[in-house]
């Protein structure tokens, strides 16, 4: 079992664990000090306690996910790390893959929760800027030949000094060129319909546009100060109650059809929270991203960037031109 003070030796250096930072289904992240310099980094390891309890096939998947994440981050050109968390070092510890990552200032889920608890709202201009940065990060994942499939606030890290965000956690990546149906991947609360509801053979057909749906769910979350879409909330609850069988349960409650991904009252609340020039264009972008069918969503990140540009243009328009 890992404890504060333990030293992890990787390919390029040594790191003394300081305190736990975060955890997931199979991973654990520690704040660590580099030795001897003392600069702090984030050390991401596979949870050995979970490994001991898991089925051998599950253990293999977790190891493969960590190896995939390391390989992806190593493949990035330095200039592509602007909106993707930077890999500083990697190696093995107790026969399991480990990575040292740049240490940022927490994730968006925690940041927005703190702001909400303090009675502070995220301004629309800030939310739109973060959305644009996340879109750029997703574009880089796609450019390198992968689809991300796990976009959610806890996987978006905040760099408070620069006022920017970075995408993290790439173990769910799947090759864009692989068009075959695949097993379940991602987080139910943040999935596109085709990612949550299986096709024939109880498998899933996703592509780059599945990431754009999650981007739309993120947009709604940012603008409303941390509210989930009803569709995402219901999918998450169905999965918690019935695991993979939750999709069938949810379809049965909606006469065999996929539930609406954006209700009219949600679109109205979204526009109300903006309450400024650009709201109409923002709702248009939201509806496009959250289209039930992938074919109805923007075809690529550039199209999304252009729609974000339309929102910004409307925000800058002089008041007399809006009369």
List the CATH number of the domain containing 289.
1.10.510.10
**Residue 95 sits in the same domain as residue 114:** no
Distance CA 158, CA 107 (A): 6
Task: Give the tens place of pLDDT for each residue, 219-234.
Answer: 999 999 999 999 999 9
Rounded average pLDDT over 28-44 = 94
Position 322 confidence tier, pLDDT thresholds 50, 70, 90: very low
Q: How far apart are CA 66 and CA 26, in angstroms?
A: 10
Per residue in 90-118, is it b (16+ CB within 10 Å) or e — as a string?
beebeeebbbbbbbbeebbeebbeeeeee
Residue 119 within a domain: yes
Same domain, 53 and 81: yes
Angle at 188 between CA 125 and CA 41, to 5 degrees: 65
In a domain, 80, yes or no: yes
218 shares a domain with 82: no
Task: Residue 224: count other Cβ atoms within 10 Å of its Cβ.
Answer: 20
Same domain, residue pair 81 and 191: no
Q: Say if residue 137's pLDDT is above 60.
A: yes
Token pair 């910004």 in the structure block, residue: 312
Residue 78 lies in a domain: yes
Count, in order, helices (H) and strands (E) of the chain. 11, 10
pLDDT exceeding 90 applies to what percent of the chain? 81
73, 101, 129: which is the final residue of a domain? 101
Asked if 154 and 297 sit in the same domain, the reply is yes
Average per-residue pLDDT for the chain: 93
pLDDT of residue 321: 52
How far, in Å, CA of 269 to CA of 279, rounded?
Answer: 11
Alpha helices in the chain (DSSP H): 48-53, 56-75, 108-117, 124-143, 193-196, 208-223, 230-242, 246-253, 264-274, 279-289, 301-316
Range of the domain at 32: 7-101
Give the pair of three-digit tokens for residue 135.
């879109």
Least confident of 46-55, 66-75, 197-206: 46-55
Distance CA 88, CA 180 (A): 33
Look up the pTM and report it: 0.94
261 and 132 co-located in one domain: yes
Percent of the chain whose predicted confidence (pLDDT) is above 70: 98
CA 320 to chain centre: 39
* Within a domain: 1: no
Is residue 2 one of the residues assigned to a domain?
Answer: no
120 and 92 share one domain: no
105-134 per-position pLDDT tens digit: 999 999 999 999 999 999 999 999 999 999
pLDDT for the residue 52: 80
How sure is the predictor about 323, in pLDDT bands with cuts at 50, 70 and 90? very low
Read off the pLDDT of residues 147-169 as tens digits, 9 standing for 90 and up: 999 999 999 999 988 889 999 99
Residues 96 and 212 in one domain: no
Q: What is the CATH number of the domain that holds 85?
A: 3.30.200.20
End position of a domain, from candidates 101, 119, 137: 101
Q: Examine the domain organization and report whether 174 and 298 are in the same domain.
A: yes
Residue pointed to by tokens 């093995």: 92
Give the residue from 53, 69, 101 where a domain finishes: 101
Nearest partner of 290 among 245, 223, 225, 242, judged by Cα: 223
pLDDT of residue 193: 97
238 and 314 housed in the same domain: yes
Total domain count, the chain: 2
97 and 112 share one domain: no
* 96-101/40-46 β-pairing: antiparallel
For residues 32 and 23, the model is more confident at 32
Give the helix, strand, coil percentages of the chain, each rounded to 5.
50, 20, 35
What is residue 92's predicted lDDT score, i.e. its pLDDT? 96
| Cβ 249 vs Cβ 235: under 8 Å | no
């Amino acid at each position: 079992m890992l404890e504060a003070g333990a030293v992890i030796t990787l390919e390029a250096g040594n790191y003394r664990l300081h305190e736990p930072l975060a955890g997931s289904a199979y991973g654990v992240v520690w704040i660590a000090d580099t030795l001897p310099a003392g600069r702090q980094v984030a050390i991401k390891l596979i949870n050995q306690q979970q490994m001991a309890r898991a089925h051998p096939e599950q253990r293999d998947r977790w190891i493969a996910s960590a190896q995939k994440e390391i390989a992806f981050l190593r493949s990035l050109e330095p200039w592509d790390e602007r909106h993707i968390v930077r890999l500083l070092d990697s190696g093995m510890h107790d026969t399991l893959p480990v990575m040292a990552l740049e240490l940022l200032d927490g994730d968006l889920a925690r940041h927005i929760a703190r702001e909400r608890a303090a009675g502070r709202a995220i301004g629309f201009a800030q939310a739109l800027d973060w959305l644009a940065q996340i879109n750029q990060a997703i574009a880089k994942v796609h450019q390198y030949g992968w689809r991300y499939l796990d976009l959610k606030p806890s996987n978006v890290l905040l760099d408070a000094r620069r006022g920017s965000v970075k995408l993290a956690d790439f173990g769910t990546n799947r090759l864009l060129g692989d068009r075959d149906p695949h097993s379940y991947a991602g987080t139910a609360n943040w999935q596109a319909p085709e990612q949550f509801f299986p096709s024939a053979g109880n498998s899933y057909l996703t592509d780059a546009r599945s990431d754009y749906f999650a981007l739309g769910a993120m947009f709604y979350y940012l603008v409303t100060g941390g509210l989930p879409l009803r569709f995402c909330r219901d999918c998450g609850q169905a999965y918690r109650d019935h695991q993979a069988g939750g999709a069938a349960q949810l379809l049965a409650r909606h006469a065999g059809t996929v539930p609406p991904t954006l209700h009219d009252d949600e679109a109205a609340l979204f526009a109300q929270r903006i309450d400024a020039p650009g709201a109409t264009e923002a709702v248009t972008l939201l509806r496009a991203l959250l289209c039930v069918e992938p074919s109805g969503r923007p075809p690529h990140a550039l199209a999304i960037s252009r729609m974000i540009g339309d929102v910004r243009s409307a925000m800058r328009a002089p008041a007399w031109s809006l009369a």
